[in-house]
A and B are shown apart, each in its own frame.
Chain A
């Protein structure tokens, strides 16, 4: 019996060894490796999931990586398509190297044998990133949708969980929003025959609302929570779309009217202001400033009804005062950044939670920048007024929606840089002085396989500080129920 046990252990050891071929007689390359995803020289949070990668080309037979630090620790992984670091070992290594760099030596086996490349560094920031990311997964389509839903992903592992999917009800789901990443306050829109806005306040029960009133344009969209949790800024938009006959942007999504409104969660009423619902102006994408005393938004001069000169619709970044004690608005609108003067258009303003920066998307025209390949991210320093492109985060393709981590040191951004169509989340570090690190892709266990086989875009990535504990089955019962609580309007 003992002999048999030794025999089995021996076979097991042999199999383990035979699974891993150490790079031998490798040709030393002077260049750094061309890897996918590109993690060379990136700055990562200490609690990020393992940055597994493969070689960018697909002729490789084996890829091997050794990660070392200045303390003599190392981590090794080898695989056919991708390296796959042990999660616990990876986290232990990163934890020992807070504020320091780790070095990665990559070897790749091709038909002509092993090649070992010049090592590259990954800087481990002591700034941690939030628990997870919440996003919608949907095919990058036009008017019809197949299976889609809202999902949350643990950023320190590869675990992904559905909050709710449209298999649970008839319709689609969008515009998930949390109060500074805290899912205790949560907003979610349902579209279709069971349309509703689901709201959860202070971890209370989920309630389905009808946000359309007879004094406003339509349903509330593009939510943003006030830091106090008492208010939600919404826009209400009459949205249309037209298609390009032969243009890589494929589609134009545009508003023919839009206004802003603030919802008072405690009083269940909408706060309206005439200066935020002007017929001659399209107002959209409202967000509260870090102190909750301003509302930033995008505003464009409207075009005549029936006109389709969409490339003439350009949005400026604007601001209006807001008094959270009284729920009243200022009486003047300030143009914070005059993009129109530069022949550009602003979308998705997002102030950092420390009040220092405001990140926005700049495109040639319009406000639905996800379909604009020229769209890039820009950052405005709210203390100095300095405004510049986030070059390290941008690519030659679309960068669009983005959000700050709760410590304001990380930015998640939607990018189509991989293939020009499917949106994927990238992260970049922003230090206290506004220096921006190179963006890196959301890690996956086998990134190439994962992203190639997923025919879905990551839509509206939002950080969450903890699991949302959102009961999708209960929510779907609420959605399928006819009851909707109506939004009132403040008189």
Chain B
């Protein structure tokens, strides 16, 4: 009978890993980019001193591995399987066995939401584990003492779940699915206890397997229906832009042309980076200027790909402001490894070395950005090394030579100024031509050609 249990649990865990690794990897990347886990005593203390801090900390610790989607998928798979195994301890081998998968499936559905935080899953697991340990104690005073001792500890570790402050990115939104998972983890063992008189345990594995198949089929279809594959596609473009995978972006766009703002912005950036924007832009979906250099919104997500375009163009101050504001807009007040990295780079390029150092030294306290920070720190104040650097040297040359004031809207004059102050900046020229083409500004385009001919 145990082998059936192991088989079903393994199948479940395997399905979770495959789902997040193959179908949902960019949701994991998205999660990772909105936090900055620091190996620093102050950082850790600030988190764990709050109720729920331990679950929150464990969630954040695991989320840093989401930078590598398959590792993230394995972590989620292990967590959800562990929760299922803990729940199954209370459910015998009967038709009810399949119900032991319900809390894990509900958590799986919870994690489909890009704002769901892994701390919530840890909170459910810690609670279940504590209940399991208490139940194992003999009935009587020992159990009562254990409950009295464990309750305040649990309060500290998993916190006041009703506020959901550590488990969902929107501080004021109650994560209903997480509560449902939590509740199911309590109700299902109770149900199994109440029904034990009527539902006899089965000796064979067929009944358990059948109940698993029923629950897995039903809940698996709910998972699939609730998965947001459109968002996954958008996140994929964002991910590829952050890793500057220009060819892959074009290949992805060739396979299925993006029709959302982020996708189009990234597609146009990739085309421009490969010098194909003005020739091929109308082979793809366009969204006017909003698909080229959209106005920056005050949220954490949409400005980041636009900031990538600003950065590559050499509009370093604009890129810096855009990234800074995006990071400030992260709903649960966390910081972002990706943003810190970009802020360090922009400050390095403009010569604001002490501020760059501040970001780099914070990144030195991370697991996966440390190496990059260590490599970048020696560049500070080394003007020659920066000038030689293939990226920073190029971008420093592309900086505006004279400053002007502007609001949120990028104008063709800004791109023109950028190009004519450094005519090696072909990206700026591509964007400028595209700007005129997208706005159908023939006069502007003709004037540009005249200026180019005079060069």
- Taking Cβ atoms with an 8 Å cutoff, the residues of A that contact B are 139, 141-147, 167, 170, 242-248, 250-252, 308, 310, 418-422, 452-453, 455
Asked whether A142 and B318 contact (CB < 8 A) given A421-B355, A453-B362, the answer is no
The interface stretch among B180-188, B271-279, B397-405 is B397-405
Report the Cα distance A300→B171, complex, angstroms.
43
Interchain CB contact under 8 A, A142 and B321:
yes
Mind listing 23 A-B residue pairs with CB under 8 Å? A139-B324, A144-B298, A146-B328, A146-B329, A147-B333, A242-B406, A243-B317, A243-B318, A243-B321, A243-B407, A244-B404, A244-B405, A245-B315, A245-B318, A245-B400, A246-B401, A246-B403, A247-B317, A250-B321, A308-B405, A310-B405, A422-B358, A455-B358
Least Cβ–Cβ distance between A406 and chain B, in angstroms: 33
> Quick one: which of B401-417 are within 8 Å of A by CB?
401-407, 414, 417
Q: Which residues of B contact A453 (CB under 8 A)?
A: 40, 42, 362
Q: Which residues of A contact B176 (CB under 8 A)?
A: none
Interchain CB contact under 8 A, A144 and B354:
no
Interchain CB contact under 8 A, B328 and A144:
yes
Is B361 in contact with chain A by the CB < 8 A criterion? yes
Is B327 in contact with chain A by the CB < 8 A criterion? yes
Report the Cα distance A246→B396, complex, angstroms.
11
Q: Which residues of B contact A251 (CB under 8 A)?
A: 321
Q: Mark B84-126, 1 if CB is under 8 A from A, else 0.
A: 0000000000000000000000000000000000000000000
Specify which of B325, B328, B401, B414 lies most central, judged by the most chain A CB atoms within 10 Å of its CB. Answer: B328
From A141, A245, A310, B324 is in contact (CB under 8 Å) with A141
Interchain CB contact under 8 A, A452 and B361:
yes
Least Cβ–Cβ distance between A242 and chain B, in angstroms: 4
Is B437 in contact with chain A by the CB < 8 A criterion? no
Q: Mark B325-368, 1 if CB is under 8 A from A, else 0.
A: 10111100101000000000000001010110110011000000
Q: Which residues of A contact B404 (CB under 8 A)?
A: 244-245
> Quick one: which of B279-331 are within 8 Å of A by CB?
298, 315-318, 321, 324-325, 327-330
Interchain CB contact under 8 A, B355 and A246:
no
Q: Which residue of A lies closest to B358 (CB)?
A: A452
From A142, A308, A420, B352 is in contact (CB under 8 Å) with A420
Asked whether A419 and B354 contact (CB < 8 A) given A141-B325, A144-B328, A243-B407, the answer is yes
From A145, A146, A243, A248, B405 is in contact (CB under 8 Å) with A243
Given contacts A243-B321, A245-B406, A419-B357, could you give 20 more A-B pairs where the C-beta distance is less than 8 Å? Answer: A139-B324, A141-B328, A142-B324, A243-B318, A243-B407, A244-B317, A244-B404, A245-B404, A245-B414, A246-B317, A246-B399, A246-B400, A246-B401, A246-B403, A250-B321, A252-B405, A308-B405, A419-B352, A420-B352, A422-B355
Q: Which residue of B lies closest to A450 (CB)?
A: B42
Q: Which residues of A contact B298 (CB under 8 A)?
A: 143-144
Interchain CB contact under 8 A, A146 and B327:
yes
Q: Which residues of B contact A310 (CB under 8 A)?
A: 405
Is B172 in contact with chain A by the CB < 8 A criterion? yes
Interchain CB contact under 8 A, B330 and A246:
no
Report the Cα distance A453→B350, complex, angstroms.
22
Q: Which residue of A lies closest to B38 (CB)?
A: A453
Interchain CB contact under 8 A, A242 and B405:
yes
Report the Cα distance A9→B315, complex, angstroms.
64
Report the Cα distance A243→B315, complex, angstroms.
12
Q: Mark B356-386, 1 if CB is under 8 A from A, else 0.
A: 0110011000000000000000000000000
Q: Which residues of A contact B171 (CB under 8 A)?
A: 167
Least Cβ–Cβ distance between B220 and chain A, in angstroms: 38
Q: Which residues of B contact A146 (CB under 8 A)?
A: 327-330, 333
Least Cβ–Cβ distance between B418 and chain A, in angstroms: 9
Q: Which residue of B lies closest to A252 (CB)?
A: B405
Query: Closest 8 CB pairs between A and B?
Result: A419-B354, A246-B400, A247-B403, A147-B333, A242-B405, A144-B328, A146-B328, A246-B403
Main secondary structure of the interface of A (DSSP, over half): loop
From A141, A144, A308, A419, B355 is in contact (CB under 8 Å) with A419
Report the Cα distance A107→B40, complex, angstroms.
28
Report the Cα distance A141→B333, complex, angstroms.
14
Least Cβ–Cβ distance between B225 and chain A, in angstroms: 33
Interchain CB contact under 8 A, A246 and B324:
no
**Total chain B interface residues with beta-carbon distance under 8 A:** 37
Q: Which residue of A lies closest to B40 (CB)?
A: A453
Q: Which residues of A contact B335 (CB under 8 A)?
A: 455
Report the Cα distance A421→B330, complex, angstroms.
21
> Quick one: which of B37-70 are within 8 Å of A by CB?
40, 42
Q: Which residue of A lies closest to B315 (CB)?
A: A245
Interchain CB contact under 8 A, B355 and A420:
yes
Q: Which residues of A contact B325 (CB under 8 A)?
A: 141-144
Q: Which residue of B lies closest to A240 (CB)?
A: B407
Interchain CB contact under 8 A, B406 and A418:
no
Q: Which residues of A contact B407 (CB under 8 A)?
A: 242-243
Q: Which residue of B lies closest to A246 (CB)?
A: B400
From B330, B333, B414, A167 is in contact (CB under 8 Å) with B333
Q: Mark B406-439, 1 if CB is under 8 A from A, else 0.
A: 1100000010010000000000000000000000
Least Cβ–Cβ distance between B352 and chain A, in angstroms: 6
Interchain CB contact under 8 A, A145 and B318:
no
From B330, B333, B352, B403, A245 is in contact (CB under 8 Å) with B403
Q: Which residue of B lies closest to A421 (CB)?
A: B355
Q: Which residues of B contact A419 (CB under 8 A)?
A: 352, 354-355, 357-358
Q: Which residues of B contact A250 (CB under 8 A)?
A: 317, 321
Least Cβ–Cβ distance between B296 and chain A, in angstroms: 9
Report the Cα distance A311→B325, complex, angstroms.
25
Q: Which residues of A contact B362 (CB under 8 A)?
A: 453, 455
Interchain CB contact under 8 A, A244 and B354:
no
Report the Cα distance A170→B298, complex, angstroms.
15
Q: Which residues of A contact B400 (CB under 8 A)?
A: 245-246
Least Cβ–Cβ distance between A354 and chain B, in angstroms: 37
Q: Which residues of B contact A242 (CB under 8 A)?
A: 405-407
Q: Which residues of A contact B40 (CB under 8 A)?
A: 453
Q: Which residues of A contact B352 (CB under 8 A)?
A: 248, 419-421
Q: Which residue of A lies closest to B324 (CB)?
A: A141
Report the Cα distance A453→B360, complex, angstroms.
11
Q: Which residues of A contact B316 (CB under 8 A)?
A: 246
Report the Cα distance A76→B350, complex, angstroms.
42
Interchain CB contact under 8 A, B328 and A246:
no
Report the Cα distance A142→B296, complex, angstroms.
12
Q: Which residues of A contact B354 (CB under 8 A)?
A: 418-421
Q: Which residues of B contact A420 (CB under 8 A)?
A: 352, 354-355
Interchain CB contact under 8 A, B328 and A170:
no
Report the Cα distance A144→B417, complex, angstroms.
28
Q: Which residues of A contact B329 (CB under 8 A)?
A: 144, 146
Specify which of A245, A308, A418, A420 lies most central, judged by the most chain B CB atoms within 10 Å of its CB. Answer: A245
Least Cβ–Cβ distance between A261 and chain B, in angstroms: 29
Q: Mark B130-166, 1 if CB is under 8 A from A, else 0.
A: 0000000000000000000000000000000000000
Least Cβ–Cβ distance between A73 and chain B, in angstroms: 34
Least Cβ–Cβ distance between A361 and chain B, in angstroms: 21
Interchain CB contact under 8 A, B333 and A170:
no
Q: Which residues of B contact A144 (CB under 8 A)?
A: 298, 325, 328-329
Report the Cα distance A445→B171, complex, angstroms.
33
Interchain CB contact under 8 A, A245 and B327:
no
Least Cβ–Cβ distance between A140 and chain B, in angstroms: 9
Report the Cα distance A418→B355, complex, angstroms.
9
Specify which of B357, B358, B407 lies most central, judged by the most chain A CB atoms within 10 Å of its CB. Answer: B358
Report the Cα distance A418→B403, complex, angstroms.
24
Least Cβ–Cβ distance between B96 and chain A, in angstroms: 42
Q: Mark B187-198, 1 if CB is under 8 A from A, else 0.
A: 000000000000
Q: Which residue of A lies closest to B172 (CB)?
A: A170
Q: Which residues of B contact A246 (CB under 8 A)?
A: 316-317, 350, 399-403
Q: Which residue of B lies closest to A310 (CB)?
A: B405
Q: Which residue of A lies closest to B361 (CB)?
A: A452
Report the Cα distance A76→B405, complex, angstroms.
53
Interchain CB contact under 8 A, B406 and A243:
yes
Report the Cα distance A453→B40, complex, angstroms.
10
